[in-house]
Amino acid sequence: MLVISSREFRQNQKLYFERADKGEQIIVQRGKDKAYALTPISEEDVYFNAEMVERIKQSIKQVEEGKVKRVTTPEGISDLLGL
């Protein structure tokens, strides 16, 4: 693990991005009590990836077709969740 200052990171961003891409843990220290991890993300890390968008579209279609279950009471919520 490599800990660097925010100033060092700003001056050499490309170098640290490349090192993070290769799997190295990079921590950017900002002041005395703030630190950030430099971590590459993938398609799966983003909440609204293609799969999630498709699931949302399917859900909208089900609502339009009336394939919904209305829950109006606390007991109904418990039943729906299996509690």
Give the predicted TM-score (pTM) of the model. 0.55
Q: How many domains does the chain have?
A: 2
How many other CB atoms sit within 10 Å of the CB of residue 16?
19
Assess whether 30 and 51 both reside in one domain.
Answer: no
What pLDDT shows up at residue 69? 85
Q: Which residues sit opposite 24 in a β-bridge?
A: none
Classified as helix, coil or strand, 40 is coil
Cα–Cα distances in Å, from 19 out to 6, 40, 44, 58, 72?
Answer: 16, 10, 21, 40, 53
In degrees and rounded to multiples of 5, residue 16 shows phi and psi of -75, -35
Other Cβ atoms within 10 Å of 75 Cβ, number: 10
Residues 6+ apart with CB under 8 A from 17: 38
Contact 27, 2 (CB under 8 A): yes
Q: Which domain holds residue 15?
A: 2-38
One digit per residue, pLDDT tens: the chain, 83 residues? 999 999 999 999 999 999 999 999 999 999 989 999 999 988 777 777 788 889 999 999 999 999 998 899 999 999 989 99
* Whether residues 51 and 34 fall in one domain: no
Residue 63 confidence (pLDDT): 94
Q: What is the CATH number of the domain that holds 11?
A: 3.40.1620
